[in-house]
Amino acid sequence: MQLKSDDIRDGQPIDAEFAFARPDSEQHMALSDNVSPHLAWSGAPDGTRSFAVLCVDPDVPSVADDVNQEGRTIPSTLKRVDFFHWVMIDVPVDVTELKTGECGSGVTPGGRKQPPGPEGCRQGLNDYTDFLAGDEEMAGEYYGYDGPCPPWNDELVHHYRFTVYALDVETLPVSPSFDGREAMEALRDHILGQASITGTYTLNPDAFERGKGRD
């Protein structure tokens, strides 16, 4: 399979338009446009009956004590874990492209409950649901796409892996409020093919200057 995008260049920095937050000189970061990016795929194997689209950041700090704390820095050597930014399943087999903004734009405090997307698809909870649970203004259930917002004091430039999976089933057996981990477990034995694009993003001006937004 092949995956391409007009908005995400493999191995290159992601534009702030597609991020949950953008750098801000006074407050370190501010809410951004949060537009879902264009994706188009081809070469699905014979027998494909649906697609799943996921975006995962594997670079999230495993310990959150120092996240976005003044006077502290998150070392690049800290153990990292996955953070799901987008979990969409049951995408009909005749859908092979998502237009820019087709699956959402703007930040919705408390999360989108019915995010836009191709007819027939289902979109699960992303990990902002847990991350923002203690924020009085932002807490809620975040369904669909919500883009990058790495800690502004993280030494590590984060990677965002967009993957399209070709599956041999039309519908995955998941709960109504499924998340990325449940979706991955459900699709694991049904993958016929897959393709990925990975972009990078940072809110740390020092990390950006060292790597120019790359490794």
pLDDT in tens, 130-147: 999 999 999 999 999 999
What are the tens digits of pLDDT across the range 81-108?
999 999 999 999 999 999 999 999 999 9
- What is the chain's mean pLDDT, rounded? 95
Q: Which two tokens stand for residue 3?
A: 């995956």
Confidence of residue 206 (pLDDT cuts 50, 70, 90): confident
Q: What residues contact 199, with CB distance under 8 A and at least 6 apart?
A: 8, 9, 10, 11, 12, 13, 14, 159, 160, 162
What are the tens digits of pLDDT across the range 166-200?
999 999 999 999 999 999 999 999 999 999 999 99
Distances (CA, A) of 13 to 9, 69, 91, 94: 8, 24, 27, 30
CA–CA separation, 58 and 152 (whole Å) = 16
Query: How many other CB atoms are found less than 10 A from the CB of residue 181?
Result: 13
What are the tens digits of pLDDT across the range 14-68?
999 999 999 998 999 999 999 999 999 999 999 999 999 999 999 999 999 999 9
Helix (H, G, I), strand (E, B) or coil at 55: strand
CA–CA separation, 98 and 119 (whole Å) = 12
The answer to pTM > 0.75 is yes
pLDDT at 212 over 90: no
